[in-house]
């Protein structure tokens, strides 16, 4: 009898620091994934705490609140449904820094936590300052399938995925907090296809969506089969749920049910990035609105249109 597993990619919009709100959002998305027939819901990187947490990651009360949130979510899982949820995890010893973790919630408890091993420290990222790296990637088994869970930067070089293959991983599940830039979607796909070609394993890539301070996340989550073909792609700049059934066959894992969202041209991407960034900056900060000074020129007219599309 062939094995199968239904994986839901949860492309959602958390808020940095708003742990209770993020927990409530996770609960809603779990319900949607279960209703869609999923066995496993996969959330983006550090979903419970919000990404990037920056100096909040250094506060012990913040770790404890995130840990308590995933434990409450874990208590709502059972023998038929599990979730992989990004969360800051407390240090392994006094005097150490916390870790960028992915908690495996199943059977009513936190079954285990995987830790990001390759911490980025360039551009907008400064994770080496606030986190300790994991000592190696982890594999979790659900519905009889061994899931390797590299976290975001962990797939940008071959070593972590190679270690997961050595541990017997059968499907790679990758949570991300990857910000938008004009070339990001193409670069992510190229890196993911390289890891699939090296490992021969399917890959599910789940990215955050929404604005957070000066960053904007575009979503565009996707799944590749073992031949590197796109079998699911979620829309840009929208919250979405992507559900794929993976069934083991003589030639590897076959994907069924994934939808392919249309892409955007360059102008469309940039415009949606501006609208998303403004909407979430205003709303997540709790501002009542914006004040515009209009000169009648094209630039201020465009500003007004962006503000209207973002805020009504």
Q: Is the Cβ–Cβ distance between 3 and 252 less than 8 Å?
A: no
Q: Is 20 a catalytic residue?
A: no
Set 23, 116, 170, 185: catalytic member: 116
Note the pLDDT tens digit of each residue in 247-268: 999 989 999 999 999 999 999 9
Q: Read off φ and ψ for residue 115, nearest 5 degrees.
A: -125, 140
Q: What's the number of CA atoms in the CB half-sphere (13 Å) around residue 38?
A: 24
Set 23, 45, 153, 208: catalytic member: 45
pLDDT band (50, 70, 90) for residue 289: confident
Nearest-angstrom CA–CA distance, 18 and 90: 18
Give the per-residue SS3 of the chain. Answer: CCCEEEEEEEECCCCCCCHHHHHHHHHHHHHHHHHCCCCEEECCCCCCCCCCCHHHHHCHHHHHHHHHHHHHHHHCCCCCCEEEEEEEECCCCCCCCCEEEEEEEECCEEEEEEECCCCCCCCCCCHHHHCCCCCCCCEEEECCEEEECCCHHHHCCHHHHHHHHHCCCCEEEEEECCECCCCHHHHHHHHHHHHHHHHCCCEEEEECEEEECCEEEEECCEEECCCCCEEEECCECCCEEEEEEEEEECCEEEEECCCECCCCCHHHHHHHHHHHHHHHHHHHHCCCCCCCCCCCCHHHHHHHHHHHHHHC
Give the chain's mean pLDDT: 96
Q: What percent of the chain has pLDDT over 90?
A: 93
Note the pLDDT tens digit of each residue in 74-86: 999 999 999 999 9
pLDDT higher than threshold 80 for residue 191: yes
Q: Is the Cβ–Cβ distance between 16 and 177 less than 8 Å?
A: no
223-233 mean pLDDT? 97
Say which range, 61-75, 186-200, 292-306, has the weakest mean pLDDT.
Answer: 292-306
Q: Is 152 a catalytic residue?
A: yes
pLDDT band (50, 70, 90) for residue 231: very high
pLDDT band (50, 70, 90) for residue 296: confident
Structure confidence at residue 92 (pLDDT): 86
Is cis: bond before 52, omega within 30 of 0? yes
Q: Is 170 a catalytic residue?
A: no
Note the pLDDT tens digit of each residue in 116-126: 999 998 888 89
pLDDT band (50, 70, 90) for residue 46: very high
Dmax (CA) for the chain in angstroms is 69
pLDDT band (50, 70, 90) for residue 229: very high
pLDDT higher than threshold 90 for residue 107: yes
Note the pLDDT tens digit of each residue in 5-20: 999 999 999 999 999 9
Do the bridges between strand 230-233 and strand 222-224 make them parallel or antiparallel, or are there none, so unpaired?
antiparallel
Structure confidence at residue 98 (pLDDT): 97
Nearest-angstrom CA–CA distance, 311 and 307: 6
pLDDT band (50, 70, 90) for residue 31: very high
pLDDT band (50, 70, 90) for residue 2: confident
Set 23, 127, 152, 170: catalytic member: 152
CATH code for 4-256? 3.60.110.10
Domain boundary assignment for the chain: 4-256, 266-311
Nearest-angstrom CA–CA distance, 213 and 282: 9
């Amino acid at each position: 009898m062939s094995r199968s597993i239904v994986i839901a990619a949860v492309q959602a919009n958390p808020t940095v620091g708003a742990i209770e709100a993020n927990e409530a959002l996770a609960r809603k998305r779990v319900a949607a994934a279960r209703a869609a027939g999923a066995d496993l819901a996969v959330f983006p990187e550090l979903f419970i705490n919000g990404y990037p947490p920056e100096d909040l990651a250094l506060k012990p009360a913040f770790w404890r609140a995130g840990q308590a949130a995933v434990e409450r979510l874990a208590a709502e899982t059972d023998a038929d449904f599990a979730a992989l949820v990004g969360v800051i995890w407390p240090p392994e010893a006094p005097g150490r820094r916390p870790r960028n973790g992915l908690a495996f919630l199943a059977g009513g408890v936190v079954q285990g936590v995987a830790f990001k091993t390759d911490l980025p420290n360039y551009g907008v990222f400064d994770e080496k300052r606030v986190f300790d790296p994991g000592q190696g990637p982890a594999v979790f088994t659900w519905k009889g399938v061994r899931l390797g869970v590299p976290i975001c930067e962990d797939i940008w070089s071959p070593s972590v995925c190679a270690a997961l293959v050595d541990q017997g991983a059968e499907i790679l599940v990758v949570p991300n907090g990857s910000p938008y830039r004009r070339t990001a979607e193409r670069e992510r796909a190229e890196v993911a296809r390289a890891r699939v070609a090296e490992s021969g394993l399917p890959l599910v890539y789940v990215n955050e969506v929404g604005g957070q301070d000066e960053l904007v996340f575009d979503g565009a989550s996707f799944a590749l089969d073992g031949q590197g073909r796109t079998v699911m792609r979620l829309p840009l700049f929208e919250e979405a749920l992507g559900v794929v059934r993976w069934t083991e066959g003589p030639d590897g894992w076959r994907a069924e049910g994934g939808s392919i969202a249309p892409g955007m041209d360059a102008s469309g991407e940039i415009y949606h990035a501006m609208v998303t960034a403004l909407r979430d900056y205003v709303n997540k900060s709790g501002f009542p609105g914006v004040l515009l000074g209009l000169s009648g020129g094209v630039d201020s007219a465009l500003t007004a249109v962006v503000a209207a599309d973002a805020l009504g």
